[in-house]
Structure 1
Amino acid sequence: PLACATALATLAVYEDEDLINRAARMGKELTKRLQGLAERHPSVGAVRNIGLFGIVELVRSRNPYTPLAPFNGSSPEMAALGRHFREEGLYTIVRWNNFYTNPPLTITEAEMDEGFAIIEAGLAMTDRAPTARSPTRFNPDRGSRSMKWEPSMATPTTTRLDVPAEVGTITHFIDNKPYDGPTARWGDVTDPALGRVTHRVAFADEALVDQAVAVATRAAVGWRQSSLAVRTRTFFAFHALLEKHRREVAELLTREHGKVLSDAMGEVQRGIEVVEFACGLPQLLKGEFSENVSSEVDSYSIRQPLGVVAGITPFNFPAMVPMWMYPVAIACGNAFVLKPSERVRRGRSPRRRVQCRSRGQGDRRRHPEAPRHRRRQLRRLDAGGPLYL
């Protein structure tokens, strides 16, 4: 009750103060200021935002694209920038070669001007950062304090991605193939970097969800009878194909989610690690047996598939979070229905194709991907309790 009351009070503030419309108006102001940073400062490699949620990428050079700090690391310049922000009273996230511009929804133009004045002063320091061709000492304030720059910190990374010229369509993936039936509702998939629609995604109705669940139920019957050796070989093949196509998946995440390519590659890698774990699941699926736990009483346990299981995943980690779920579920002998975020659907499509190829086109032991849906009930094959979506 307390949590619900808090949520309702928060929603009331959003409505009373018109914060959603305010965020849209102030988001346009943020866009202009971010674009101004890119025009004035050579150390700004890219800027983008959706409303009041923005990010700035910093570089040593734009061509070739050389991040100011390596992926999952830092550099003297980024450390100095973060220290400058804190000393001047600007508290934001400084991570790798990025810093975020995510002010509160109640921010005023005067407060935004004050914050960007601090950012401008900080970027004046990063503009003096040495490039990969000039490994000199970096002086953030041109005073007595100096920080040594390591050449290994500048690793050129190409992030230019081809952008589709036409608006494509993304449909559901059911019964090992794209769904080509009628669709009444569609949504837009927008490239955050360009601010334009690149694809339209199909939304499902209740009947189509029932169809996906029925296919999963049929597939689960055969797949649960597969030996552990067959499941292991399947996931080793799946792992090899994911490694081969990892950049393709990461580029899709960058186009649809807005992550920098290095961040997207890291997300895909963390998902692949779960697939590696699934390859070793036969060792973890062993049961237990205890003899004479009581007089002439033995105790044993076995692990069996549930049948059809499901996952509903958010947009912020469109590759990693689904891969936390379906590799383990399928390796355990279940069929899996996935309802991904409609905002970043294509980040999963290469894995769908990869999974189909690894199992063979004629194999009935496969799992479908569920579309966007209303609340539905899935029954387990072992007649257990219901699982709600």
Structure 2
Amino acid sequence: MKILAAGDGFVTTKVLQGAIAGADGLGEAEVQVEAIQSNWPNDPYSDFSGVKEAFGDEDELIAALVGADIAFSHTYPFSERVIASSPDLKLITITRGGPVNVDVEAATRHGVVVSNAPGRNAVASAEHSVAMIMAAARQIAQRDSEVKAGDWRSDYYNYDQVGPEIAGSTVGVCGYGNVGGKVARVLAAMGAHVIVFDPWVDPSALEPGMELASDLDSMLERSSILTLHQRLTKDTEHMIGAAQIAKLPDQAIVVNCARGGLLDYEAVADALDSGRLFAAAFDALDPEPLPAGHRLFSTPRVTMTPHLGGASKQAAELAGRIGAADIARFVAGERPEHLMNPEVYEADNLRVR
């Protein structure tokens, strides 16, 4: 069986190959591993050929997939054309929580199983979210740049200038999945009162002392800090806009390290310019990257990072291990754990058998 390890600068071919070698039963199996590697993230990914957030040359990928039964990748584009041009392909394993760089419908039509790696960067993303909350509250990035510029200002000790402590604050956590749940637990451990809004969460999953909001508005009305962790869908797009921001307590903080489309950034900028909000922090923007001259660059008390919340060595290595474990199951004739199109695996007439 031939496996193509199609890496990039984050989940490298070395990481993918190491995960294959270390997977139970896979290191000893009769598999041939070949590798290619793209220049992402040094060159940005894009949406093309019906897939999203992808990087890599389709022709290079098609050529590398000749004779390959399994593709193990992070960001390469598995478009309709690539899948249709790879008749030996049986499994595509993507080391991302959402395999948006795979045309899953095309894979299903062609009898190719698709698996992913949910939760692979949950710890890194949660840690980054907590760091951004604290950076916004204490204005760390802004003070750092001022001190480096020789501007030492003690007037920031004035009561009206200082931010809140996490301990004792009411924090609204919107979305209690792999990332949101970890953020909620860390903030609760720091002494925050955590209110969770998530229509899909089982109340028994919340930690003692946390509160489950019956609706979004009731959470917003009490949240001096709001942190977003929802998936972006048609229902959640711009779920936080001017009307929702108006429900927050005065001088609240808004943090989005999930997806840019969840938040109306014009509404946030308006609230920051007017002083209605104290601060904001974003690791997810819309669009990405922001164009030159974008309003957020000159909006006060905004902290931004370039969508790198999930970037840690451990996240890349865990992604490889999750994916390799599913490949090992597949090679052993067992059902992979993280299937995006289980109907393909379960269909006797498709080519996974």
Q: Could you say which structure has the higher helix fraction? A: 1
**Normalised TM-score (structure 1):** 0.23
Larger radius of gyration: 1
